[in-house]
Amino acid sequence: MLQRTHGLAGVVAAELVLQHFQVPIWSWETAGAVLLGCFAGPLADIDKPGSVMAKLFFPLSALLKLLRIHHRTMTHSILFTALIAAALSPLPPLYGWTFVWAYASHPLIDLLNEQGVALLWPIRRKFRLLPKFLAIDTGSKAEDAFHIALVCIGVWLLVRYAMAAG
């Protein structure tokens, strides 16, 4: 999936966490969590040479390449996500959980991709949710449709939240 799709999925994850913690919709906390989600969503693609995240965190991405960590393996695994959750546990829960769920949304939606994800890394086996003919290729028309669906979900969550708050 493209960076923008992952960013959007991160925002949807942030919205769910905000609702869970009942954070007032017009607040600095909400703005912070949404920005954090938008950033954490695409982060796992630091393992993909040439991606925005790989460029942004250049020394780290170069190290991953050196260690021969391939795309959609370690950084997309349940183990790595759990380690991140443990590392972020000292943070205030709203931001810690926003980061973790936005990060986790990445491998989750990559499961819709044709190549699949090594969710159980270091076990190499890759998993995917859809049969090949339904899978969503990166940058395809299907991804555009998925992106629009995510926008709808994001807006719907926002409206529902705003109504509940009002």
Closest to Zn ion by CB, 3 or 30: 3
CB of 107 to Zn ion, least distance (A): 7
Applying CB under 5 A, which part among 19-27, 38-46, 89-97, 135-143 lies near Zn ion? 38-46
Closest to Zn ion by CB, 18 or 54: 54
45 touches Zn ion (CB under 5 A): yes
CB of 96 to Zn ion, least distance (A): 22
Q: Is 80 helix (H, G, I), strand (E, B) or coil?
A: helix
123 class by beta-carbon count within 10 Å (0-12 exposed, 13-18 middle, 19+ buried): exposed
User: Which run of H or E residues covers position 93?
Assistant: helix 93-110
Rounded CA separation 25/59 (Å): 37
CB of 20 to Zn ion, least distance (A): 25
Closest to Zn ion by CB, 2 or 34: 2
Rounded CA separation 58/39 (Å): 16
Closest to Zn ion by CB, 110 or 143: 110
Q: Which two tokens stand for residue 64?
A: 């991953």
CB of 148 to Zn ion, least distance (A): 20
Output DSSP code: residue 127.
Answer: B
Q: How many chain residues touch Zn ion (CB under 5 A)?
A: 2
Closest to Zn ion by CB, 18 or 113: 113
What would the x/- binding string for Zn ion be over residues 92 to 131, using CB under 5 A? ------------------x---------------------
**117 DSSP β-pair partners:** 127
47 touches Zn ion (CB under 5 A): no
DSSP letters spanning 36-76: HHHHHTTGGGGGSTTSHHHHHTHHHHHHHHHTT--TTSGGG
Rounded CA separation 50/65 (Å): 11
- Chain positions contacting Zn ion, by CB under 5 A: 45, 110
